[in-house]
Amino acid sequence: SQQGEEDPQALSIQEGENATMNCSYKTSINNLQWYRQNSGRGLVHLILIRSNEREKHSGRLRVTLDTSKKSSSLLITASRAADTASYFCATDANYGQNFVFGPGTRLSVLP
């Protein structure tokens, strides 16, 4: 079964609005990562948050982690058309560097 799943599957917003995507997972993790994938391209790492951290920021990105609820959220503030992409969360499995990626959230930012 999939470790992490993003919600919603798809999201359309207007430029300038904020976008929030959620990730839920099933088992304990050491850390969780968020990636972006533009159409036809490879994934790009955005943020890594460790299990003992609750919030991290990077530019317009804000990631939260609630280990008690086994969930994480990615907030993109003041969205731009260039933010249009699929966003994936990745959680480490029980060992090593075996990260499991969710099915992703497709974000469309309309100009």
Partner 1 sequence: DAGVIQSPRHEVTEMGQEVTLRCKPISGHDYLFWYRQTMMRGLELLIYFNNNVPIDDSGMPEDRFSAKMPNASFSTLKIQPSEPRDSAVYFCASSSGGAQYFGPGTRLLVL
For the CA atoms of the chain, what is the radius of gyration? Answer: 13
Residue 100 touches partner 1, criterion: CB under 8 A: yes
Nearer to partner 1 among residue 75 and residue 103 (C-beta): 103
Shortest distance (Å) from residue 111 CB to partner 1:
26
Q: Looking only at residues 16 through 55 of this chain, which bind partner 1 when binding is defined by CB under 8 A?
A: 31, 33, 41-45, 48
For 81, the 3-state DSSP assignment is helix
Nearest to 47 by CA among 93, 100, 89: 89
Neighbouring C-alpha atoms within 13 Å toward the C-beta of 27? 10
DSSP state of 39: T
Residue 72 touches partner 1, criterion: CB under 8 A: no
Shortest distance (Å) from residue 102 CB to partner 1:
8
Residue 34: how many other CB atoms lie within 10 Å: 24
Residue 97 touches partner 1, criterion: CB under 8 A: yes
Residue 61 touches partner 1, criterion: CB under 8 A: no
The contact set with partner 1 (CB under 8 A) reads 31, 33, 41-45, 48, 88, 96-104
